[in-house]
Chains A and B, each alone.
Chain A
């Protein structure tokens, strides 16, 4: 076992290659979550708008992107849509994952807004809050709390989905794991190593959300004490 560990992960500075792959996976995931969430807000706003055309477009956007496999979307963008351009592969990958994530995030936000009590916003309006103030101070904080768990699992899903980027020439964590498995002929051991590393990423994601919960509670207490 120690010998396998040495041959696969230590010899020749292999662990540095693994870390580089991990960095690629983290980088792509973080960028896709940020861009995708921002897009998701816009799509959610369009989905809830009173304009029928906007609503229709947002509905189609969500249906198409949530209903199509990310790998095929990625291959379509890399090998067809952007085939004759010089856009680097990681950029195309971030675009594809952002599109996919935006659809999931939009539905997440919409469900969360739907779960908040609309009577509270109306009450705020009667107290003289503007529409924007009522949304920002009353509806939004509650909706974010509701959205967190589903958003969290969407993010963990996205991280796992990035493992297919080997199809578009990117060497991410999964590719590095497979490369080492092939070279050392220890594929089963490397699969377990890969699972442990991806689980680690999930833990980090859960940890960040738990931290935001704690900070949020402390902030709320602080506001109560001083307000």
Chain B
């Protein structure tokens, strides 16, 4: 048997495969661009009858009006939107704004305040047994809310965020003699949670952690992991806290409730929210 030949043939097949993949990706991008106009405003009328909404929520309940398509990350949801597999991607307002500012193919359905359909709260989750940590975090978040720190951070890390220059990630102080709390960040929910070009965890959540650390006397250590592994991180004891969203409420344009959900479980409890947001719909232009 001549190994050299097989290898060469495999090289050829691989090369052809690469070209085909790149070509297909190019076509997908081009077609999503050209069919963009057709997709706008079609959130209500699709081939299957029901509009397909992409959501990053575990086990969305079924609805007779909407077909929910579940994603475990913002990246996959937006890829599906651009490929036409869903009609609408639902995201908190801050996230949706971040996305449409950077991706010229996407826009916010309805636009501005008229397009707001639903609410969500951002908080941290800790194991049900960590009552001491929970009350420390709650006190600190309440304090930051009252003295205006959270608003100031929101201005720097969300409202004034420019698409071309991002602020340096907030530094997490080491508090002498304090317990170290390991927190999971996913890097997949900008501007709340993303990884900087230099590879460091960054965004509003890290800035909030930095402020909480000083106030609560806790040293935080960041652990990056896929969003899908957050519950495993907590229940296995690999991490002490996560970031997540609670009290989802998605509604239609008339304000009628379509989906309610909460990420809290019996084993993981949520802190008080450190940010409240409305829900917007992202569609192809």
B-contacting residues of A (Cβ < 8 Å)?
11-14, 16-17, 20, 75, 78-80, 83-84, 145-146, 148-149, 166-169, 171, 175-176, 178-188, 190-192, 195-196, 199, 202-203, 206, 209-210, 213-214
Contacts and interface: CB of A to CB of B under 8 A. Distances in A.
A183 B3 contact: no
A50 B234 CA distance: 47
Contact of A188 (B79, B98, B198): B79
Nearest to A196: B18
Contacts of A80: 236
B264 to A, nearest CB: 20
B7 A183 contact: no
Interface stretch (B120-128, B130-138, B220-228): B220-228
Contact of A182 (B82, B106, B194, B232): B194
Interface in B182-230: 187-190, 194-199, 223-226, 228-229
Interface of B: 1, 3-4, 6-7, 10-11, 14, 17-18, 21-22, 25, 28-29, 73-76, 78-79, 82, 98-99, 102-103, 106, 166, 187-190, 194-199, 223-226, 228-229, 232-233, 235-238
B98 to A, nearest CB: 7
Contacts of A176: 195, 199
Nearest to B29: A188
Nearest to B194: A183
19 contacts: A11-B197, A12-B166, A14-B197, A17-B197, A75-B229, A78-B236, A83-B236, A167-B228, A178-B75, A183-B187, A185-B78, A185-B102, A188-B28, A188-B29, A191-B79, A192-B22, A199-B17, A213-B3, A213-B4
A14 B3 CA distance: 39
Nearest to B187: A179
Contacts of A180: 195, 197
Contacts of A84: 237
Nearest to B25: A192
Given A149-B3, A192-B25, A169 B238 contact: yes
B197 A183 contact: yes
A77 to B, nearest CB: 11
Given A83-B238, A169-B223, A209 B73 contact: no
Contacts, number: 133
B127 to A, nearest CB: 13
Contacts of A190: 75
B94 to A, nearest CB: 13
Given A75-B229, A181-B75, A185-B98, 18 more contacts: A12-B196, A12-B197, A16-B199, A79-B232, A79-B236, A80-B236, A149-B3, A166-B229, A167-B225, A175-B224, A176-B199, A178-B73, A182-B189, A188-B29, A195-B21, A196-B18, A210-B3, A213-B4
Contact of A183 (B73, B196, B238): B196
A187 B226 contact: no
Contact of B103 (A145, A166, A186, A214): A186
A178 B195 CA distance: 10
B4 A166 contact: no
A179 B185 CA distance: 11
A145 B196 contact: no
A149 B6 contact: yes
Contacts of B73: 178, 182
A224 B40 CA distance: 73
Given A188-B25, A206-B11, A182 B190 contact: yes
A193 B196 CA distance: 18
Contacts of B237: 83-84
A176 B98 CA distance: 19
Contacts of B166: 12
B188 A182 contact: yes
Contacts of B236: 78-80, 83
Given A168-B225, A182-B73, A17 B194 contact: no
A148 B225 contact: no
Contacts of A195: 18, 21
B194 A199 contact: no
Given A176-B199, A191-B79, A183 B190 contact: yes
A170 to B, nearest CB: 9
